[in-house]
Amino acid sequence: MTRQRKPTYLNFDKESYPWKPDIDYRENPEAYSVGKGEQGVLICEPYKAEIGSHWRFKTPEIASKSSEEIFILFQEYMNNNDFVGADMARKFLQMGYTRARRYANYKGGKKYDKENDYAQLERGTGETEKAASAAIFYKKWKAAEADIKYAKMKSAWKKERG
């Protein structure tokens, strides 16, 4: 029996969300919070625009090029001691994995049936090609997380700022 769980984007409280679209996080890095997983990835500018323009996962070939470009940005941010940029690049790599997996698991990438009280749809109906894209992003995501300098910066940032 599958448990019924509504998606978290329902009843979303914008006001209490720590990431704001009107903040330039390069100019105001102190306003940035690491958060969990991919939180803030589609809000924090200018990184959203810089990194997001490379983010694609339609085919394994596209995912390979995309993940490599984003990983290069991650390394550039690290070389410039730009933790916020590096963390955002890591989040985009993670999101490449999670979104591609969503499309691999569910037809059209839709997990919930809006017309049926957001019941979870059947798994295993998605595109197998997306599973290969997810695996490509997974390797780059884990490579970013394994970067020793990044791990130290992230730990320090979380202690200082959250």
Give the three-class secondary structure for 63: helix
Its pTM stands at 0.86
Residues 117-155 as b or e (16 or more Cβ within 10 Å = b):
eeebeeeeebbebbebbbebbbebbebbeebeebeebbe
Q: What's the confidence (pLDDT) of residue 1?
A: 44
Phi/psi zone of residue 154: left (φ > 0), alpha (ψ -120 to 50 degrees), beta?
A: alpha
Give the three-class secondary structure for 87: helix
Q: What is the pLDDT of residues 42-97, one digit of tens each?
A: 999 999 999 999 999 999 999 999 999 999 999 999 999 999 999 999 999 999 99
Q: How confident is the model at residue 12 (pLDDT cuts 50, 70, 90)?
A: low
Question: Strand runs (DSSP E) across the chain, as ranges?
Answer: 112-113, 119-120
Write the CB contacts of 37 (distance below 8 Å, at least 6 apart in sequence). 91, 94, 98
Q: What's the confidence (pLDDT) of residue 86?
A: 98
Q: What's the confidence (pLDDT) of residue 123?
A: 73
Q: How confident is the model at residue 103 (pLDDT cuts 50, 70, 90)?
A: confident
Write the CB contacts of 97 (distance below 8 Å, at least 6 apart in sequence). 134, 137, 138, 141
Q: What is the pLDDT of residues 111-159, one digit of tens each?
A: 777 777 777 767 776 678 899 999 999 999 999 999 999 999 999 999 9
Residues 74-100 as b or e (16 or more Cβ within 10 Å = b):
bbebbeeebbbbbbbbbbbbbbbbebb
